[in-house]
Amino acid sequence: MKKYKPAENRYEQMQYRRCGKSGIDLPLLSLGLWHNFGDNDDFDNAAKLLRTAFDHGITHFDLANNYGPPYGSAEKNFGKIFKRDFKKYRDELIISTKAGWDMWPGPYGNFGSRKYLISSLDQSLKRMKLDYVDIFYHHRPDPNTPLEETMGALDQIVRQGKALYVGISQYNATDTKKAAKILKEQGTPFLIHQPRYNMMDRWVENGLLDTLDEVGIGSIVFSPLEQGILTSKYLGGIPKDSRAATEGSYLDASRIKPELVEKIQKLNDIAEARGQSLAQMAIAWLLKDARVTSVLIGASRVSQLKDNLEAIKNIKFTKTELNKIDKIIVDK
C-alpha cells in the first residue's frame, strides 16, 4: 500500500462529545475491531478501514484481548498497521483494549482477577507494540472475584503507566456505582462504561444511563445495529453472506421471523422519510441522548464505514418520530 498521509480536514468531518466529567472528547463514532481484523481477514482491507476512519475524524480505535479470530490476532494486526501508518499520530489517537472474557487455558485466563487483568494487558501491549493504552476496560462483571480486587487491578495498571484511564463494560447500575466509589477513593481516572445498547435492546435505560450521569462517567455503546437486524439487509430474506446465514455467528437465523421483518420494514419507512438508511437512523437514535458519548461501529468494507458516518449529519428526532419508533419496538 502507498505511504499513508491522513486527510488534512479530518477534524472538520467529525463531531466530538465530552466523556463524562473528564477532560477527554470522543468522536460521536468510534471504530471497533471485534470483527474484520483477525488473521482470517484481509489485512489490506483492515488497514483501509483504519485509514478511512482516521481520515474522517474517528480518533478512537477499540480492541480487546480476544478479538480475532484467533484470539489476540486483531491486536497483533492492529499493531502492524499502527507501526506503519499511525505511529506518527499516536498523540491524536485514543486506543483502548479490554480483558474479562476467556483468553488462555487454565484458571488465570478469564474473568476479573488481578493476575488475569495485569497479565492480559502486558500481552496486549506487546501485540500492539504500544507503551500504553489510553483506556483499559474490565470487559464484564465477575461474580466470584471481589470488586475491590478487580478495581484495585485497574488502579495499579494506571499507576504503572500502562493505561491513562480505565473503564468497565456490561456492569449494571448498582455495580457501576460501587465500582465508581472504589475507584474514586483510590484516585483512579474512571472514564467510561461500554454497554450494549440499541433500539431493540434498551436495558441501559433502566437506571444505568442515569447512574453514569450522576457519577460523571461517559458511555460508548456497542451493537448499535443489533448484529445487522437494524439494517435493510433482511427485508428480502436472509442473504448468503449475512451473519444470520453464518454458522456459529452471534445472530441465529431463527430470529429473522416474519413479525420481526415487519417491524424492520416499518422502521425502514421512518428512516426513509428522514432521508436516512435504517442503519444510519439506528445510530442517530442512540446519539440523540447526550449521555451517549460515542457509538461503537464495526465495518467490513470502506463503503459501509462511510455510510455509517453519514448518520451524524442528522441526529435530531421529532417527538412524533420517537413515538412511532417506540410503538413499533416497545409497544405490544
pLDDT digits (tens, 9 = 90+) for 194-243: 999 999 999 999 999 999 999 999 999 999 999 889 998 888 655 555 55
In a domain, residue 269? The reply is: no
For residue 95, pLDDT over 70 is answered with yes
* Segment 116-152, tens digit of pLDDT: 999 999 999 999 999 999 999 999 999 999 999 999 9
Residue 242 in any domain: the answer is: no
Q: How far does CA 45 lie from the centroid of its chain?
A: 20
Query: Which of 225, 229, 208 is closest to 217 using CA atoms?
Result: 208
Residue 83: give the domain boundaries. Answer: 10-226+282-314
Taking 60 as the threshold, does the pLDDT of residue 281 lie above it? yes
Q: Locate cell 437506571: which residue? A: 207
Could you tell me the CATH number of the domain that includes residue 81? 3.20.20.100
Q: Mean pLDDT, the chain, as a whole number?
A: 94
Domain-embedded: residue 175: yes
Detail the DSSP E strand segments found in the chain: 16-18, 25-27, 29-32, 60-62, 94-99, 133-138, 163-169, 190-194, 218-221, 294-297
Average pLDDT of span 51-71: 98
Q: 90 near 53, Cβ under 8 Å?
A: no
The pLDDT of residue 83: 98
The band of 245, judged by pLDDT with boundaries at 50, 70 and 90, is: very low
Which residues lie across from 31 on neighbouring strands?
Answer: 61, 297
Q: How many domains does the chain have?
A: 1
Question: What is the tens place of the pLDDT at every residue in 252-262?
Answer: 566 778 888 89
For 300, the 3-state DSSP assignment is coil
Residue 240 included in any domain: no
Check residue 249 and give its pLDDT. Answer: 53
Q: Above pLDDT 90, what percent of the chain?
A: 89
Q: Is the pLDDT of residue 331 over 70?
A: no
**Integer Rg of the chain from CA:** 19
User: What pLDDT does residue 244 have?
Assistant: 47
Q: Is the pTM of this model over 0.85?
A: yes
Q: Is residue 172 part of a domain?
A: yes
How far apart are the C-alpha atoms of 84 and 250, rounded to whole Å? 32
